[in-house]
Amino acid sequence: MSTRYLIRIPDAGKARASGAYALQSQGPEGIAAELQDALRGDALFSRWRADQPDPDEVDPSLGITDANARVVGEQRDLDIDLTVDTSISSTVLKHRLRLLAGSAWELRDVRAA
C-alpha cells in the first residue's frame, strides 16, 4: 500500500548545506528528482552505510527501496513543497530526508495515496 507524504522545505539553501549527502539541486523539480532517486535506488543508502564505523552493523531495513516511488516538487513562494507517494515506511523516508536535507524539512501531512 502506498502512502502520500506532504513535505515542505522552507529554506532550500539550508537543506543544500546539510552535510556530505546534501541535496545539490536548486529548484523544486531537481530536489524532487533527487529524493525520488533516493527512494527508488540504493545509491544514497550505500554511500551512507559505507561511511559508518561498522557498515555490517547497519540495519539492512534502512536500505529498502520502492521502484514505484514518485516525488513531485512545487515552488510555493520561497518554500518548496514535495508530494511523495511511496510504499517505504515513514522511518526510512525520514532517514533519507535527513541525509539529503538535514533538519531543513517539515512533514506537513500523511495520507493514503
Contact 77, 83 (CB under 8 A): no
Tell me which amino acid residue 21 is. Y
pLDDT in tens, 27-49: 999 999 999 999 999 999 999 99
52-83 residue pLDDT tens? 999 999 999 999 999 999 999 999 988 999 99
Contact 19, 100 (CB under 8 A): no
